[in-house]
Structure 1
Amino acid sequence: MVQAKSAFWQNIVDAAQQHPAVEGLDKLPFFTLAPMEAVTDTVFRRVVAKAAAPDAFYTEFTNARSISHPKAKFTVQGRLFFVPEEQTPIAQLWGDRPIDFELGVADCKARGFEAVDINMGCPDSTVIKNGGGSGLIKDPDRAAELIAAAKTAGLPISVKTRLGFNKLDTFREWIPFLLKQDIQVLTIHLRTRKEMSKVPAHFEFIDEILKMRDEIAPDTLIQINGDIKDRQQGLELAKAHPGIDGIMIGRGIFESPFAFEDTPVEHTLDDSLNLLRMQLDLHDEFDAQFGPTNFQKLKRFFKIYVRGFSYASDLRIALMETKSTDEVRQILNDFDQQWQEKKQNKNE
């Protein structure tokens, strides 16, 4: 592993070493929660931190142009919001105009962010149509301009990308190009845009990518993303590929809110449902501050907490029919009572 280029990222690298030592690893990789649209806001980040915190968080990805736009800037307030009690997340921005990154990163700095990540991997067709996300893989010159513009505010700048747009072997030109841009961290989702998440992540290219880093930019941290469900799997990947600096977990968090815990333990139903209750409370606080949000979006989180026990499917069905957080709380309370009665009858 290498030394980070900035104090911010070196602190994350150092924090990772505070976890229990792992046989076969001289230095532990840092773990992060991936930036996910309508998922990794201040509410969910605090829930994950309560369950088992990663070494670093990212915000939802945010349109850099919207940050400074006189009308649109009000729509991004919630995306970039974090509370003092939180570990300061890394702001992730997307876009296609250098001026937007120059102004947007400066705004992020004023808000208290200490690092910014540029999204060059999002596969969404609307984002690509607007010149951002994985569309930048086809426009390296523009990608370099965005990185240079983002650096003007003085914050550490990193990039998250994919192996290519349509072709896998694109990474043999694209990754070296990015490494030459003097970025702090390069996070690589080990699939192309065309592959989306429909095929297994290409772990077979990790060693080749690490060799590129060592030859071109030995001080750039490499973070791997794709098909890594929890900390244990990430550690095994790091053992198999010495030189990995960081592991990013995305969809794995939907299989367990405890994905980042050092030692897997069997959690009770109450553990999971209490996290859901916490999210409901924080959701209501967020709504009160930033205006009503779409309640339907909250339902995507129910499966995280309601799984792996008897009657889980029945409870999920009931929760999906709710129309407010108060209705969710009432169903949870009714379920608690019924669950206790069933356990009591079973013991009699």
Structure 2
Amino acid sequence: MKSLKSMKKPVIITAVSALAISGALFSQSTYAAQVTKPIQAVYNNIKIIYNGTEVPYDAKTEPFMLDGVTYLPLRLAGTALDKKVEWDGTNKRVVIADNGVPIDQSTVTALNNQITTLTQELNTAKAANTTKDATIAQLQKDNQTLKDDASKNSSDSLKDLQKQLNKDYSDTYNTNSDITLDGNKKDITVTIEMTKSRWEDLSSSRQKSYLEDIVDDILKEYKDADVEGTVKNSSNRDKLATFTTNSKGDVTIKKIASSLDTSTIQRNLSDRYGSYAGINLDFTVRGDSSEATVEVYVTSDDWNKLSGTQRTSLTDGVIYQLKERESIDRVIGYVRNKGNSSQIITF
């Protein structure tokens, strides 16, 4: 047996305030005179589902259909959608508003007091930061002043040492040099200027001794300093050599490779060794100041006439002449047969 509710037939009712699901309202103007019209509504056990949950209602708020449009009471729709619905009878208005959580005045007052306190703390923190910033700026300024003073004192001290070195070494070793110091007490750069001929007149050992004497005097004043330097030609300021030192003040010299006056060197060797122990020798030299190759030409018969001591004395003398007198860093030597240039020995 069908329920009585599902067997309801269309009934005639008086129009009441209702909401159409489609959003349409009755077309009467808000300001029109109140009228009463008969309508034919159909009740068909209509259910309201919101987010998967059925919204309950009673007989007074049951939805109905009219001319194919479904209507339901506005207050019921408001409850389903969590809205506050009120009827303003004076102005004949339906007022819909969001449901809000009421806040009592004590809560508002407490929040305002908290805001005031936080604002005061923020202002205090800003003031403290401003003071700190000013302090930091002053400390940075004082630190820079100290650095400038230290740099000035170090510079003045280096200048005094420079004057003393020039006094002590300008004519030492017959260099007629000019010495300049730059840097600070931890890192000192030495520049020594003299003519190329005066520098090259010094043997390798005397060059080393000359530089080490200067470095020793610097380390007496600045024992923790790293010292390095350059020897320059006073005529054109070309580099003649660079040098570095270790913690003990030992100097390592790196000569700047330069071209050799090979014709002069060969003539000097011929003057000194061209007639050696009764035999005739010819010489050729090629290379630069960093490395040179010397070739000694002699007949096999003459070479065999020399004793082992004479041969060693000859080759050692040639190497000494090139390294010490001509300031060549490395020498490679060959003794060759005058007849066919075949190699006899290397030295």
TM over 0.5: no
TM-score, length of structure 2 as denominator length = 0.19
- Larger RCO: 1 or 2 (CA < 8 Å, sep 6+): 1
Larger proportion of strand: 2
